Amino acid sequence: MSTNERSIWEKIADQLRSKSLWMLHYCTGCGAIELPPSMTSRFDMERFGMGPMATPRQADILFITGYLSAKTLRRVIYTYEQMPEPKYVIGFGSCTLNGGIYYDSYATINRLDYYIPVDLYIAGCMPRPEALLEAFNELMRMIRKGEANGWKRYKENYEWYKQNQLRSLGEVFIHDEFHE
C-alpha cells in the first residue's frame, strides 16, 4: 500500500485522531515563548482539542519551536524516534524552514525536513499565537484527509534520513561523560 492510500479503518481512525492531539512540550528555541500565551486563557488552544504533553511516549505532535542547534537536533531525533505512531511534526518559525536569520550560523541547521519529516511549517519570526492555532487546525484537516503522513515517509526513506543526519551531526549517538 502506498503512503497515501488508507484502509477504511484507518480513515475512521484518522477522523478520531484529529479530534484529540497531544503536543509534546519541548522548547527547542525562542518560539517557546509564544506557547504559554497560546496554551493559557487568552488564546486557549484547548478549545480545539489540543493539549500539552510532558513525555514523548504519549505525544502525537512534535512541535519544533524555532532554530535547532546541532546539539539539540540529536535530542530531537531521539525524541522523534521515541514517539509512537502516528506522529506529526510542525516546524514553527522561519529558522526551521530555511535557517531564517541564522542561515550562516555554524551551530544551527538550515532545514528541518532534511533530518525528520515535517508535515507543516509556520513561517515568520516570531509567528503569532493565531498562526499557531491556524496551523493546528490545518494539521487536523490534513490528518482527516490523510495528507499528514510524514511518519510513513520516515519509515520508507529511513536510509536517506539517517544519511542526512549523519552528514550534519557526525553521529547521532550522544557521547558525554554522563552517558558512559
Partner 1 sequence: MTNSMNNTIERLKSIIRNLKVEEIDEREVKIEIKPEMVLNALSLLKGSGYSHLSIITAVDWIEENKFELVYILFSWNDGGKFIVSTKIDRKKAKFVTVKHLWPIARYYERELHEFFGISFEGNDDMRPLFLENWDDLPPLRKDFDPMEYSKKKFPDREYHKDVIHEAKVIRGDLNG
Partner 2 sequence: MGEVKLFFGPNHPGMHGNFSVHMYVEGDTVERARPLPGFLHRGFEKLMERRLWYQNLALIPRICVPEPDINEVCYAMAIEKIAKIDVPERAQWIRMIILELARIASHMMSFPGIGGPLGLYTSSFWGVADRDRILDIFESLTGARIYHMFIVPGGVRKDLTPKIQDLIVKTLDYIEGRLPDYEDLIFKNRIVHTRLKGIALLDRETALELGVTGVGLRATGVPYDIRKVDPYLFYDKVDFEIPTATDGDAYSRVYLKYLEIYQSIKIIRQCLEKMPEGKVNVPLSEGSALRYKVPKGQAYVHIESTRGEYGYFMVSDGGEKPYRVAVRGASYPQTFIGVEKYLPGTRIEDVPIWLSTMDVCAPEVDR
Residues that bind partner 2 (CB under 8 A): 24-30, 32-34, 36-37, 40-42, 52, 54, 56, 67, 69, 71-72, 75, 79, 101-102, 104-108, 125-126, 128, 176, 178
In the complex, what is the shortest distance from the CB of residue 25 to partner 1, in angstroms, rounded to a whole number?
19
Report the C-alpha gap between 81 and 118 in whole angstroms.
Answer: 14
In the complex, what is the shortest distance from the CB of residue 12 to partner 2, in angstroms, rounded to a whole number?
32
Closer to partner 1 by CB, 72 or 83: give it.
Answer: 72
Closer to partner 1 by CB, 30 or 131: give it.
Answer: 131
Report the C-alpha gap between 21 and 3 in whole angstroms.
Answer: 21
Query: 101 touches which of partner 2, partner 1, none (CB within 5 to 8 A by kind)?
Result: partner 2
Of 52, 54, 110, 58, nearest to 84 by C-alpha is 58
Closer to partner 1 by CB, 60 or 110: give it.
Answer: 110
For the residues of 36-100, what is the DSSP string, one character each? HHHHSTTT-GGGGTEEEES-GGG-SEEEEES--BHHHHHHHHHHHHHSPSS-EEEEESHHHHH-G
In the complex, what is the shortest distance from the CB of residue 171 to partner 2, in angstroms, rounded to a whole number?
17
